[in-house]
Amino acid sequence: MKPGPTRKVVIIPPEQLPMNEYEELRASWFFHWATLEPRRYWVGMALVWLGAWLISGPVANWSYPPRRLPLEFLLAGSAMASGFLLLVVARLYLGWSYIFDRLNRAQVDYEETGAHDGDLWVKPEEVLAKDRLVVEYQLTPLLKRLRSTIALIGLLASVNGLLFWLAH
């Protein structure tokens, strides 16, 4: 009997294992926000939008003094605050979609020493099955929520733009 081809044992750094990357992202103060129950998630969205008014309010005031042009001031400030919120949600989406991709793939790239000496790791079947369960039951609903949030911000921005156009 001939010996089979020898398989190279791959030692992927633990911090680059997709499941460890997922757990790290889930524990991060910023990315954890997307995993919160709906009420806390939407309160956070509202607080970011209101916080963005600290910058958008003075900028809108520069172009549209609220005493003279209150509707334009509110619409311009709202548009800028919504733009900031959109950037925050887009960052959440990009971070989680990166992890989604790494967990969903059968093989992932990694760096052995961080010196651009990358290689591919083929996941064992049991690891792939576990990763895909996380994708299906944790990440798919989370990414759907973030896409819906982006769509809602886009819809509200469109209404805001239409109202601004009608105001002129």
Listed residue (163, 166, 147, 149) closest to 77, CA to CA: 163
pLDDT at 116: 61
For residue range 114-167, what is the model confidence (pLDDT) as tens digits? 666 778 899 999 999 999 999 999 999 999 999 999 999 999 999 999 999 998
pLDDT band at 3 (very low <50, low <70, confident <90, very high): low
Give the separation between CA 168 and CA 165, rounded to whole angstroms: 6
Give the separation between CA 17 and CA 15, rounded to whole angstroms: 6
Q: What are phi and psi of 113, to 5 degrees?
A: -120, 0
For the chain, the structural domain boundaries read: 41-167
Q: What is the pTM of this model?
A: 0.88
